[in-house]
Structure 1
Amino acid sequence: MEAAGAFRRTAIERSDQRVAWERTDQAFFAAGACHILAWVCRDTYPDRSIEVAAVRLAGELPVVHTYAVWGGWAFDHAGWNPEQQVLAVNAAFEGHPLERVSISTDLAEFCAEHHHRMPDRYWRDPIPRAREYMGRHLPPWT
């Protein structure tokens, strides 16, 4: 498992949505569209109490990674893994302690508050791509 930060976008990927879109699925959903993947995961399983969570550097305001959580498992670019492992890998990569934040807003409010892109701000609609990516990762309850 790799930390989300290992896939941070380059300057050209940040400025050109097509270039960002053309990255591998894992890179795309690790950095730049992790929040989209988290909400798609939650919405795909309405019968489960899936939470959206994020991490930020301790004492900082901006979140550095967003993911879905269910029963101690986290779903992000690396598939389903124990949440504690996701937190540890990302903290080790960042070289700083991380704070876990529970997200209780909807996607639009989250994007406005955290300066993230809504699905219509990508080069193409990322929701079908997120659904397809999720389909490659079986949830822990199967």
Structure 2
Amino acid sequence: MFLLKRSVKRKPDLQWALGDRQFFACGACHILAYAFLGKYPASGFGAVWIKPAAGYTGNHVVATDGDIAFDYHGFSRWRHLLEHTTRKAERLMPGWSCTLVPLPPEALTSEARSKETEGLWLRGPEQYLHDALPHARAFLDRFEPPEGAQGLSSRKYRHGVNQR
């Protein structure tokens, strides 16, 4: 988990200049999830919003099939990613908890469609300094593709272990 100063998130040039992991952890995670779903449509993955309880921060969107997840860490076990996220958030914000909200792919790249989900407000890829979708696709290309017709469940994943 990365936390940015508000001044960085509000300045497009500073946000765009972040390292890839920070960029996709702090405001563009949904674009990365969308790129993943587009590249591997038959993998059995869907987008899930890790929605913090009221009064807390730490929104995050990942692609997951319920066993494996993909986000700025790379591939990891979904259960481990949730435990990791919770542990990091609780260090900074005692009492942190979340709910998991499945999202339709079209909500990931449309501000208007994202607002159809209560409490969600995502920027489209064109709302960054430069189009964030090619950036997400290039980041995704660093990782080995999913194995098998239905995804990744036969592999042992930890954060980023299959990065090229």
With normalisation by structure 1, the TM-score equals 0.85
Judging changes above 3 Å, is the alpha-carbon distance between structure 1 residues 64 and 41 closer, same or farther for their aligned structure 2 residues? same
Choose 1 or 2 for highest CA Rg.
2
Instruction: Note the residue ranges of structure 1 that are not aligned, 5 or more in a row.
Output: none
- Residue 47 of structure 2 aligns with which residue? 52
SS in structure 1 of the partner of residue 129 of structure 2? coil
What is the root-mean-square deviation of aligned Cα atoms in Å?
2.2
Q: Alpha-carbon deviations, 1:58-96, whole Å to 9, x = none?
A: 467987100101351110000000001110111111112
Q: Which deviates more from structure 2 when the two are superposed, residues 78-87 or residues 89-98? A: 89-98
Query: CA–CA distance in 2 between the matches of 1:97 and 1:123?
Result: 32
- Residue 134 of structure 2 aligns with which residue? 128
Instruction: Note the residue ranges of structure 2 that are not aligned, 5 or more in a row.
Output: 91-95, 149-164
Kept after mapping to 1: 8 A contact 2:53/2:98 = yes
- Residue 94 of structure 1 aligns with which residue? 89
Q: CA deviation at 1:57?
A: 2.1
Tell me how many residue pairs correspond in the alignment: 137
Q: Alpha-carbon deviations, 1:22-74, whole Å to 9, x = none?
A: 00000000111001000110011122222000112246798710010135111
Query: CA–CA distance in 1 between the matches of 2:45 and 2:114?
Result: 16
Judging changes above 3 Å, is the alpha-carbon distance between structure 1 residues 141 and 67 closer, same or farther for their aligned structure 2 residues? same
Judging changes above 3 Å, is the alpha-carbon distance between structure 1 residues 48 and 105 closer, same or farther for their aligned structure 2 residues? closer
SS in structure 2 of the partner of residue 137 of structure 1? coil
Judging changes above 3 Å, is the alpha-carbon distance between structure 1 residues 8 and 40 closer, same or farther for their aligned structure 2 residues? same
Query: CA–CA distance in 1 between the matches of 2:125 and 2:57?
Result: 20
1:110 to 104, 110, 114: 114
- Residue 14 of structure 2 aligns with which residue? 19
Judging changes above 3 Å, is the alpha-carbon distance between structure 1 residues 13 and 67 closer, same or farther for their aligned structure 2 residues? same
Give the 5 Å matches for 1:60-99: 64-70=59-65, 72-95=67-90, 96-99=96-99
**What letter is aligned with 2:129?**
W
**What letter is aligned with 1:99?**
T
Judging changes above 3 Å, is the alpha-carbon distance between structure 1 residues 28 and 136 closer, same or farther for their aligned structure 2 residues? same
Judging changes above 3 Å, is the alpha-carbon distance between structure 1 residues 111 and 133 closer, same or farther for their aligned structure 2 residues? farther
Structure 1: 4+ residue segments shifted above 6 A: 60-63
Q: CA deviation at 1:100?
A: 1.4
User: Aligned residues: percent identity?
Assistant: 26
With normalisation by structure 2, the TM-score equals 0.75
Judging changes above 3 Å, is the alpha-carbon distance between structure 1 residues 59 and 139 closer, same or farther for their aligned structure 2 residues? farther
